[in-house]
Structure 1
């Protein structure tokens, strides 16, 4: 091997090594694959996975425009319009102890008041693991009533903790409520107790709800039944309240009935009637007069997720008419 051959071989080797190093220097690392939002169908429609987690999230709510109208005892008529936006955020995931749920609902309302201020507030917020539920939410007195807009069957929202058993056709629950006896800071709070049994068999549904207010040592019992009959569903409810309490304070006894007539897939008419015995008096006892209320609600689905509602009622205690018109877009 002569000098010329050795030099040529060395140059070729160096070129090969330099070429390899240059090639390595310009190779860019491949980007990590982007994680797109995945649909979560384990808990129903509308859920998606939060990227990087196994938690499913759903966002919903509604926009409502409503006009309330009516007359007072003197016969003077008036009306009031307001707009509400409701935003719901629901999180769900499966755990070794059952389904874990978080729920937040926020309301924003514009009343067109002189101040121009809108009212934003938390409507509900709770967590639930399996059958255990805790937070501030619609309890059974508030969540379940007749389908129209007339009935007065109880309404409150409390800080509560509950255990709920849910079967295929049977539900039972027990709940402890915080009852604030006064808005004065430092005043003592009391406890309330609720228990409910619900059942559904074919066209028949029934609920029995009982509650006790330990603060005033009074309680109330409510029953609601429903029956699919003809082109609609018939509802009947009754309440007994020992004296005004956190759960029911309108009257000692009341009975309410309604029929939800589904005229078409989009059009529904709901006539209602309710009678009250021994209504609440000014002194806080059930020594007031008996009275009744009657009216009807009409629901119409304009398009998917857009509905209208018109409700009119007559109240015997005030001898006055009143009602509402509502336009609502759900999402």
Structure 2
């Protein structure tokens, strides 16, 4: 009996050992801990740590789809002792579409010198553009129906220890057209993105100052850059003093712009060169924030020999026919009010005018030919009103109307010849923008 019991016990132990061995073989191997994305709250919502690093990254973007209807009217008048002529260009209204996709990347890392930041915004544009431009040498308005299928880098810069390197907003600018809606904003103000080296000193309590070297090619058109400026020998020097507080903000800025040895009358056999070798510009702007529902911008600027700082690159020359720097100014601003958290309206606009400057002309009236130097000026303004709705977070729908007027007029010193060229534009924009 004892032997039977012993054999049963031994068999049971052996069986349990075999079962334990089999169960152990079936257990899964312990996997490595998964590396989950970690939220980075240091710089606000939307940032997360790039796995394996201490760098925080925010990925964002937007899609804007615009529909435009524009009606343009242009007039040209010429008056000589034997002839008076007037031509009108009044085409039927035009409709066109523009679409823009933007991709934004913002990477930040804390260092012993402060935040190291890299920022990028790429834009992809597609559609047809119907509008007008103005020739810099004659002031003539030209109309085009050009293709706007393109990719561009709007921003691409590095910020470190107060320095900014790369493509960024000019240190000169303040009101950058805030209040205008859509891919094609209004005209006649300074809003420029270009290559820069900037240093900003933060004095605390909202006060700061910036000194910068900025690419002058980004401010002028091709004719001015390679003819009137003789290429870029020295970058533009820009400085500002700014304040940002609970009530709003203000900025005072100035810029120096080199003028090259340009002969405005005779490029083949130069006899006269630029009398001024330096252009300059100043700006003052203020923003008021009222009760978190209303924002008011007011800005003014004056420039001499630096039309790009007035938003007039290609519209007015850097120097006139006598080699003197051409001067002008503008005032502009916007009033934006949120009636509810999802409904807002805006009133926006600007006005610009140049001082009188000399240009050479050649006019044939069918009987005689007149050639000489005339005194002229440029005047323009653009005003708009819009209403917007934010039905859900990230989606903005806007309907906007704006009116633009641009006029180039003058007469020669003897008053024998006078002329004017004027263009007006009525435009309606419907814009849908999805930000994420």
Give the TM bin, normalised by the shorter chain. Answer: 0.7 to 0.9
The worse-fitting range, judged by mean Cα deviation, of 47-56 and 232-241 is 232-241
Compute the TM-score of the two structures, normalised by the length of structure 2: 0.63
- 1:215 Cα deviation from its structure 2 partner: 4.0
1:242-261 correspondence to structure 2 within 5 Å = 242-250=304-312, 252-261=328-337
Of 214, 217, 222, 1:177 maps to 214
Deviations 1:219-261 (A, max 9, x none): 1111111234576233211111113344335370211243222
The worse-fitting range, judged by mean Cα deviation, of 76-85 and 53-62 is 76-85
Of 232, 235, 241, 2:303 maps to 241
Find the counterpart in structure 1 of residue 381 from structure 2. 292
For CA contacts below 8 A with separation 6 or more, give which structure has more relative contact order: 2
Deviations 1:280-325 (A, max 9, x none): 9795999414343322122221210000122211123223212422
- 1:116 Cα deviation from its structure 2 partner: 9.3
SS at match of 1:36: coil
Find the counterpart in structure 2 of residue 75 from structure 1. 90
Rounded to whole Å, the distance in 2 between the matches of 1:299 and 1:280 is 40
Rounded to whole Å, the distance in 2 between the matches of 1:141 and 1:308 is 31
The 1:115–1:234 alpha-carbon spacing in structure 2 relative to 1, beyond 3 Å, is closer
Find the counterpart in structure 1 of residue 116 from structure 2. 100
CA contact (8 A) 1:38 1:49 kept: yes
RMSD: 3.3
**Structure 1 alignment gaps of length 5 or more:** 1-18
The worse-fitting range, judged by mean Cα deviation, of 246-255 and 309-318 is 246-255
Rounded to whole Å, the distance in 1 between the matches of 2:190 and 2:68 is 21
Find the counterpart in structure 2 of residue 193 from structure 1. 237
The 1:70–1:200 alpha-carbon spacing in structure 2 relative to 1, beyond 3 Å, is same
SS at match of 2:31: coil
Of 142, 155, 159, 1:128 maps to 159
CA contact (8 A) 2:188 2:352 kept: no
Deviations 1:118-146 (A, max 9, x none): 42232211111131110012224556334
The total of aligned residue pairs comes to 309
1:25-174 correspondence to structure 2 within 5 Å = 30-72=30-72, 73=74, 74-76=89-91, 77-111=93-127, 118-141=149-172, 144-149=175-180, 150=186, 152-166=188-202, 167-174=204-211
The 1:79–1:91 alpha-carbon spacing in structure 2 relative to 1, beyond 3 Å, is same
Find the counterpart in structure 2 of residue 225 from structure 1. 286
SS at match of 2:306: coil
